Amino acid sequence: MIEAHSLTKRYGGKVAVDDLSFSVKSGRVTGFLGPNGAGKSTTMRMMLGLDNPTGGSVTIGGKRYTELHHPLRTVGALLEASWVHPNRSARAHLAWMAKSNKISPKRVDEVLDIVGLSEVASKRAGGFSLGMSQRLGIAAALLGDPEVLLFDEPVNGLDPEGILWIRKFMQRLADEGRTVFVSSHLLSEMALTATDLVVIGKGKLVSQSTTEEFVARATDSTVKIRSPHLDRLRPALDRVGATVTAADDGLIVSGASSDKIGELAMENQVTLHELAPQQGSLEQAFMQITGDSVEYHADLETEDAAEQPAGHASTTN
Amino acid sequence: MTLLAVERIKLLSTRSPWWCALAALLITAGFSTLVVSNAGGGFPATVSATQFAYTFGMAVIMVLATLAVTTEYRFGTMRTTFQAIPNRAAALLAKATVVALVALVIGEVMAFLSWGLGNLLRPEDDLALNSTADWLNVAGVGPVCALGAVIAVATGILIRHSAGAISLVLIYFLAVESLVQAIPTVGADIYEWMPFNVAHKVITGDGESAGASGEMLTPLSTSTLSPWWALAYFAGFAAVLLAVAITTARKRDA
């Protein structure tokens, strides 16, 4: 449904999106995951023809956005809930958008009803809470009854009730057979909403897979071992295909369970001082996968890196 | 037509155009009343005297026109617009047209209101519109305001920020052109072709509307064009500036 081919965007000397290719299947919720500043919003703006790609292209149903006739009827998008004139009423905002794509004025009241804003439709949008603005943005996206929906960080800043509402809403849209492409910097959020994931970091594609695969890989557990006979254990681990990284006073092993490592130690008559399975959180794992690609590091990152092996990222990519 | 309706909904569903229109009417009507009621000794009450304050009204209309564009950039609705209408040239052309039409209406209302007030205040003076020059002096205000609005829209598209665009438009309109005259030797020749000086020619002509004495309250335009050619020249200037602005907006990231 949505195809990006070597999409590249350069701002002066700075590369925001770098040779990015991915595809989004129709009729499912696809998460667009990446740390802040990874190029998610820029990519979405290029999808909507707002920003011109420096190179490559992105098409929706085989067409560039700018080639679509009455685009709101094919693609609904919520990039920023704040893109509304504060002194214009919610209804007037939707009325001009409907008019521009020859959508019936009746549809304006329909979508206001869907998002539950009917009662405040005549109030100025500037007085809306963040949750209400977000709903207005979603109403605008739904206006043309589009097949494809793009949402950029829709749950940012919302309270739990709002988050739950959006989550259920996106699933409902996908159940109706629509293609939903939603960006987020929170893997935990995406794990709950999306069936597929496109993960990017520093403008480059990190992975494209189903959410299940990604989460399984991201939470891929590691085992920490300490032993006075590491020189004997190490080749044995290599033989079974485990990835071994040296840690302060031992090894961090991934790709082999603690049971398996224990058995290997027994076979090779190795004394173990420590055999400790380590389960990383989804967040930590995500940070490791995209770790190299975070643009501006904070000191916090180094603490996390100490907890988990730095070399781990290379094994999962 | 659809795009014009879109821009009409957008423009008239916010309050600032209404306030600007009201301000333009009050300023011109107020000044005209003041000038016409004081006419007599130093200067006669003429058709041209009733339009003395059109530049102030026009300045307000140009602020309105600039804001119609820059607030869209400010609040991100320009992106929503381009998302709904990927053909940016068509969208911006529609906006310029709607703003120009609104400016035309405000300009005409402003001009005839001032002229009407003059008639009410000085029924004994000859304020009838007897000649083409008289008509142009009053009815010409609308088209000139409309074209001024197009120039302001174009500036708004190019600058995108309210404060910057409004100051540029106003400073240029109210000061820069007249200052050009101060340039030694060539100043006057350049000034002759400056767009708002030429636009002024449309309104004032050669001073025929100022009565037998030909005495104007404001200096006459130094343009040597006929009023109709002056209008065409001003329209051409507005069209070129708008074309430049639209070309820029098409290439730029929204």
What ipTM score was computed for the predicted complex, to two decimals? 0.89
Q: pLDDT value at position A233?
A: 86
CB atoms within 10 A of CB B235: 18
Query: What average pLDDT does range A155-174 have in this prediction?
Result: 88
Above 50 in pLDDT, residue A301? no
Above 60 in pLDDT, residue B115? yes
Above 60 in pLDDT, residue A300? no
Contacts of A140 in chain B (CB under 8 A): 80
The predicted-structure confidence for A250-283, as pLDDT tens digits, reads as follows 888 887 888 888 888 898 888 999 888 876 666 7
Contacts of A65 in chain B (CB under 8 A): 86
User: Closest to B9 (Cβ–Cβ): which among A66, A79, A95?
Assistant: A95
Above 50 in pLDDT, residue A304? no
Above 60 in pLDDT, residue A127? yes
Q: pLDDT value at position B212?
A: 58
- Helix pair A90-100, B77-84: axis angle to 10 deg: 30
Q: pLDDT value at position A65?
A: 96
E strand intervals along chain A: 2-11, 14-24, 29-33, 55-60, 75-78, 148-152, 179-184, 196-201, 204-210, 222-226, 243-246, 251-254, 274-278
User: Closest to B80 (Cβ–Cβ): which among A49, A83, A92?
Assistant: A83
Q: pLDDT value at position A317?
A: 36
The predicted-structure confidence for A212-237, as pLDDT tens digits, reads as follows 888 777 766 778 888 888 888 888 88
The predicted-structure confidence for A57-78, as pLDDT tens digits, reads as follows 999 999 999 999 999 999 999 9
Q: pLDDT value at position A306?
A: 44
Between strands A2-11 and A243-246, the pairing is: unpaired
**DSSP, residue by residue, A78-140:** ES-TT-S-TTSBHHHHHHHHHHHTT--HHHHHHHHHHTT-GGGTTSBGGG--HHHHHHHHHHH
Residues of A with CB under 8 A from a CB of B: 45, 48-52, 65-66, 68, 71-72, 77, 79-80, 82-89, 92-93, 95-97, 99-102, 140
> Measured between CA atoms, how close is A204 to chain B, in angstroms?
21
> Which residue on chain A is closest to B249 by alpha carbon?
A50
**In chain B, pLDDT over 90 holds for what percent of residues?**
77
- Helix pair B227-251, B141-159: axis angle to 10 deg: 20
Comparison of pLDDT for B224 and A316, the residue scoring more: B224
Query: What average pLDDT does range B196-203 have in this prediction?
Result: 94
Contacts of A89 in chain B (CB under 8 A): 13
Contacts of B17 in chain A (CB under 8 A): none
**In chain A, pLDDT over 70 holds for what percent of residues?**
87
Q: pLDDT value at position A250?
A: 83
B76–A82 C-beta distance less than 8 A: yes
Q: pLDDT value at position A53?
A: 95
Q: pLDDT value at position A308?
A: 44
Above 50 in pLDDT, residue A314? no
B79–A87 C-beta distance less than 8 A: no
A85–B75 C-beta distance less than 8 A: yes
3-state class of A76 per DSSP?
Answer: strand
- Least-confidence region, from A68-72, A135-139, A156-160: A156-160
Above 50 in pLDDT, residue A305? no
Contacts of A101 in chain B (CB under 8 A): 84
Above 70 in pLDDT, residue B249? yes
A87–B77 C-beta distance less than 8 A: no
HEC sequence for chain B: CHHHHHHHHHHHCCCHHHHHHHHHHHHHHHHHHHHHHHCCCCCCCCHHHHCCCHHHHHHHHHHHHHHHHHHHHHCCHHHHHHHHCCCHHHHHHHHHHHHHHHHHHHHHHHHHHHHHHHHHHCCCCCCCCCCHHHHHHHHCHHHHHHHHHHHHHHHHHHHCCHHHHHHHHHHHHHHHHHHHCCCCCCHHHHHHCCHHHHHHHHHHCCCHHHCCCCCCCCCCCCCCCCHHHHHHHHHHHHHHHHHHHHHHHHHCCC
Contacts of B72 in chain A (CB under 8 A): 85
> What domain count does chain B have?
1
Across A153-162, A202-211, B66-75, the highest mean pLDDT is recorded for B66-75
- Least-confidence region, from A95-104, A260-269, B113-122, B162-171: A260-269
> Measured between CA atoms, how close is B15 to chain A, in angstroms?
7
User: Closest to A83 (Cβ–Cβ): which among B2, B14, B76?
Assistant: B76
B86–A66 C-beta distance less than 8 A: yes
CA separation (Å) from B56 to B53, B110, B209? 6, 11, 20
Query: What average pLDDT does range B193-213 have in this prediction?
Result: 86
Q: pLDDT value at position A294?
A: 56
Q: Which of A11, A65, A85, A148 to mutate to test the interface with B (most CBs of B within 10 A)?
A: A85
Interface size A-B, in CB pairs within 8 Å, comes to: 79
Above 90 in pLDDT, residue A98? yes
Range of the domain at B118: 2-251
| Domains of chain A with bracketed CATH | 2-216 (3.40.50.300), 220-316 (3.30.70)
| CA angle, B209 then B211 then B213, to 5° | 130
> Which residue on chain A is closest to B85 by alpha carbon?
A100
> Measured between CA atoms, how close is B76 to chain A, in angstroms?
4
Query: What average pLDDT does range A274-296 have in this prediction?
Result: 69
User: Closest to A72 (Cβ–Cβ): which among B13, B75, B84?
Assistant: B84
Q: pLDDT value at position A185?
A: 87
Confidence of residue B20 (pLDDT cuts 50, 70, 90): very high
Mean pLDDT of chain B: 92
Q: Which of A10, A41, A99, A138 to mutate to test the interface with B (most CBs of B within 10 A)?
A: A99
Contacts of A87 in chain B (CB under 8 A): 14-16
Above 60 in pLDDT, residue A311? no
Asked whether the beta carbons of A278 and A237 are under 8 A apart, the reply is: no
